[in-house]
Amino acid sequence: MSARAFLAAAMAALALSAPAAAQQPIVVKFSHVVAENTPKGQAALKFKELAEKKLPGKVQVQVFPSSQLFGDAKELEALLLGDVQLIAPSLSKFDRYTKKIQVFDLPFLFDDIAAVDRFQASAKGQELLGSMKNRGLVGLGYWHNGMKQLSTNREKLMRPDDVKGLKFRIQASDVLEAQFRALGANPQKMAFSEVYQALQTGVVDGQENTWSNIFSQKFFEVQKTIAETNHGVIDYMVVTNAKWWDGLPPDVRKGLAEAMAEATAYGNQLADDINASDRKKIADAGKAKIQKLGKDDVAAWRKAMEPVWKKFEGEIGRDLIDAALKSNS
Ligand code: LMR
């Protein structure tokens, strides 16, 4: 074959293979740490369904729940390295990337998830989605879980004095560390996937979490009492790698953003119901006692945790705290 004929044949082969290559779907790996039967688990599956419907043949979304692919310690790093394209860590897990998001961890800041929702939808809340762009992270939306309850392996759990000296597992958050220190307890940062065993073996005495996490991780089977404190919130920010997101073909980025908005609305509507029904399942199981608290008890927890606000006001900014407070109706 002459050189010219060879070149022509090679170019023809290239022309044939180019459209075929362009049709390979973009694989979007979505890793998270909770079970599928939770608000985040359900929203992630809904996102997959919607994204693949909106972008047929163009994207394939693979969801990895329960720390199967990456756990707490690695998922943000993995996102920045491009090993995964979407994650949704709790808002407590970003403090290495921005101090501002710590606002969500301040104890007794929000009355309920409706208030959290209003704050997230406000200008200040929306600004936070872009607050880590300089670190290579873009927030695509907030996903709800619910309010946190406190659990221990002790019978009595009514007042702050009841947790003095106890060891608590906490998420990797300096605010939460300060919160338990203010109570005279010993906080220990630990990945979510390790909590059940740590509670079971007595490495820690207690933890704080939402009803859906306490149920789906079976924490209620290895704790004696769960006090209904509603003292804080576990919500999520869905984040992606800024470089990857900006490099997507515009139609794919648009389709994924739409799927994200719809999955967010879907999951956020489910979150309250899942937590309420998981609370009931825990009560029905009769393993851990659910301790209701009176107004005075709640006031005592609030007072004991109060010093945390002053400690972090400088890092977070008074403007954010005020905006969050304003969202309580
Ligand atoms: C926890 O670590 O307790 C939670 O943030 C887990 C989760 O993602 O809900």
pLDDT tens string 263-277: 999 999 999 999 999
230 alpha carbon to ligand 1 midpoint, in Å? 16
Q: Find, among 84, 46, 79, the residue nearest to 64 by Cα.
A: 84
Could you give the residue ranges of the DSSP H alpha helices within the chain? 3-22, 39-54, 72-81, 113-121, 123-129, 174-182, 195-201, 211-216, 242-246, 250-285, 295-305, 307-316, 318-326
Q: Return the SS3 of 42.
A: helix
- What integer pLDDT is reported at residue 159 of this predicted model? 98
- Closest atom of ligand 1 to 72 CA is 2
**Nearest atom in ligand 1 to 32's CA:** 8
pLDDT at residue 329 in the model: 82
Q: d(Cα 130, Cα 139) in Å, to the nearest integer?
A: 6
Q: Is 34 in the pocket of ligand 1 (CB under 6 A)?
A: yes
Ligand 1 atom 1, closest CA: 192
> Mutate which of 38, 63, 72 to test ligand 1's pocket (most atoms within 8 Å of Cβ)?
72
Q: Mean pLDDT in each 10-residue stretch from start to end of the chain (329 residues)?
A: 59 51 86 98 98 98 98 96 98 96 98 98 98 97 98 98 98 98 98 98 98 98 98 98 98 98 98 98 98 98 97 97 96
- Predicted local distance difference test score (pLDDT) of residue 20: 47
The rounded Å distance from CA 258 to ligand 1 centre is 26
Q: What are phi and psi of 126, to 5 degrees?
A: -65, -35
Q: State the distance from the centre of ligand 1 to the C-alpha of 52, rounded, in angstroms.
A: 27
Pocket perturbation via mutation, ligand 1, pick of 70, 234, 274 by most ligand atoms within 8 A of CB: 234
CA of 217 to the centre of ligand 1 (A): 10
Select from 257, 260, 239, 261 the least CA-distant residue to 248. Answer: 257
Closest by Cα among 74, 62, 24, 37 to 249: 24
Give, for ligand 1, the residue of 192, 197, 214 to mutate: max count of ligand atoms closer than 8 Å to Cβ. 192
